[in-house]
Amino acid sequence: MTSPFVRRFRLLSLLCGSLVAGALYDLAFAVLMVAAPQVPARILKLPLPPLPEGRFYLWIMAVFLLMLAALYLAAARDPRRYSAIIAVAIGGRALGAAALAAAALTGSGLGGLVPLAVADLAFSILHAASWWPIRS
């Protein structure tokens, strides 16, 4: 028989770990968008905007991903204080997964978005499953 505190601690550890993993995931994509955008584009078989003019769009997305990673790390450090960030992360990842899946299903050569949709959905489910039982 395990104590409710042990279960709560395990879920909290899983939540913090999933938030840090989400931050690292977003950080990696942000760095690649700026330093080597052709790498994820080639791996995922996705089109890039015309470069170098279109680089601006990649840089703006990288800034947003860096901001998101910073918020994830703040929430991982103090989940109770930043619970609103966790709720937004759950919903945002779920909506992101839906948007990426919808784009992939258009049949316009965007099938490489499917792994990104799956990753976003997995983060959303993991965050929710580890946060919801301990949110109070």
- pLDDT tens, the chain, 136 aa long: 568 888 889 999 999 999 999 999 999 999 999 999 999 999 999 999 998 999 999 999 999 999 999 999 999 999 999 999 999 999 999 999 999 999 999 978 899 999 999 999 999 999 999 999 998 7
Q: Which residues contact 21 (CB under 8 A, 6 or more apart)?
A: 123
Report yes or no on whether pTM surpasses 0.85.
Answer: yes
Element (H, E) at 3: none
**Which residue range(s) make up the domain with 125?**
4-134
Please state the domain count of the chain.
1
d(C-alpha 94, C-alpha 92), whole Å: 5
- Is the distance from CB of 53 to CB of 99 less than 8 angstroms? no
Q: Determine the length of the chain.
A: 136
What is the Cα Rg of the chain in Å?
A: 17
Q: What are the counts of helices (DSSP H) followed by strands (DSSP E) for the chain?
A: 5, 0
